[in-house]
Amino acid sequence: MTNQIALVTGANGGIGSKITEELVKAGYRVIAGYYPSEKDRATAWINDAKYTQDEVRLLPLDVTDAEHCQEVLTALWQEEGQIDVLVNNAGITRDALFKRMNFEQWDAVIKTNLNSLFYVTHPLFTFMCEKGSCRIINMTSVNGLKGQFGQVNYSAAKAGVIGFTKALAAEGAKFGVTVNAVAPGYTNTAMVSVLKPEVIDNICSTIPMKRLAEPSEIAAAVVFLASENAQYITGETLSVNGGLYMH
């Protein structure tokens, strides 16, 4: 047991739920952030996984609302006394060709995938620096590194995550707060599994390893960056994409 607490946003999603699972296995107590309107889904997930209160605590958190995050997360720190690991995992897609993309599609993705890093991290960062030996891990994407047709909004947001990570790492380093990013490639989640088999086959044909990533492989990268073994790594982006993009 680590006696440490990790906060994971978007914790009830395909990758987020696996990150939660692997952190629990590694001995962390996890605060599982979920979008407030998804309470029933989040509760069902916790019940199905048979987590105890000592393992996972659900936290309704709208990562697109700055004032809400400030209030909820300040209260959370005061109640828990520590957040050792923050995993900014919440994210959405609203894909469209740029010439057909509307403001709502752009704004929703930027708010959820990029602005949320400020909204969630800012209330906790000073506390984490005062405590020391904390970890911030931000989920970016292979498409934030290489860009993707039909995903100008998503690629822009995920590229911004990398810039955010590098800059904040420079500020946190002297306090022992590391800030890193994980960049998954195409991953075998429910969102991908609904695609037609021929579409998945076409995606896999572009990946040197000829398969999708498993959520457990993404989660393993997060758990590593959260561990003491990664205490001298900061400002880095760890790609987990099967060789799809090498940088």
Residues assigned a catalytic role = 154
CB of 150 closer than 8 Å to CB of 97: yes
Count the Cβ atoms, other than its own, within 10 Å of residue 100: 8
The DSSP line for 141-197 is -HHHHH--TT-HHHHHHHHHHHHHHHHHHHHHGGGTEEEEEEEE-SB-SHHHHTS-H
* Token pair listed for 158: 């995920």
Q: How far is CA 128 from CA 57, 152, 178, 239, in A?
A: 20, 33, 10, 25
> Which amino acid is present at 210?
K
Residue pair 215/171 in contact by the 8 Å Cβ criterion: no
CB 96 within 8 A of CB 148: no
Residue found by looking up tokens 């001995």 in the block: 27
